[in-house]
Amino acid sequence: MKKEILSVLLSLKKKKSHKQILNDFVKNPLSYDLHEIIPEDDDMQEMAQDYESIC
């Protein structure tokens, strides 16, 4: 899988909100309905680990 870089500029308020969402995703990746774009559960777990490293 090719790795991409994503850069997002946020206000402090939005940054806090996005961090809370990403932290929730890290804890519960399979609770998000992303199976249309990420069909394998293992890929979701890997993505959660990637996000955990940047949070």
| pLDDT tens-place string over residues 2-45 | 888 878 788 888 889 888 988 898 898 888 887 678 778 888 88
- Structural domain contains residue 33: yes
- 11 in a domain, yes or no? no
Question: Which tokens hold the place of 41?
Answer: 């559960």
Return the pLDDT at 6: 77
The two three-digit tokens of residue 8, written as one number: 């997002």
Answer whether residue 5 is part of any domain: no
Could you tell me if residue 2 is inside a domain?
Answer: no
Domain count, the chain: 1
* 35-54 pLDDT, tens digit each: 678 778 888 888 888 888 87
3-state percent breakdown (helix, strand, coil) of the chain, nearest 5:
60, 0, 40
pTM of the model: 0.58
Among candidate residues 19, 29, 24, the one with its CA nearest the CA of residue 54: 19
In a domain, 3, yes or no: no
Which residues span the domain enclosing 29? 17-54
Q: Is the pLDDT of residue 55 over 70?
A: no
| Residue 13, number of CB atoms within 10 A of its CB | 8
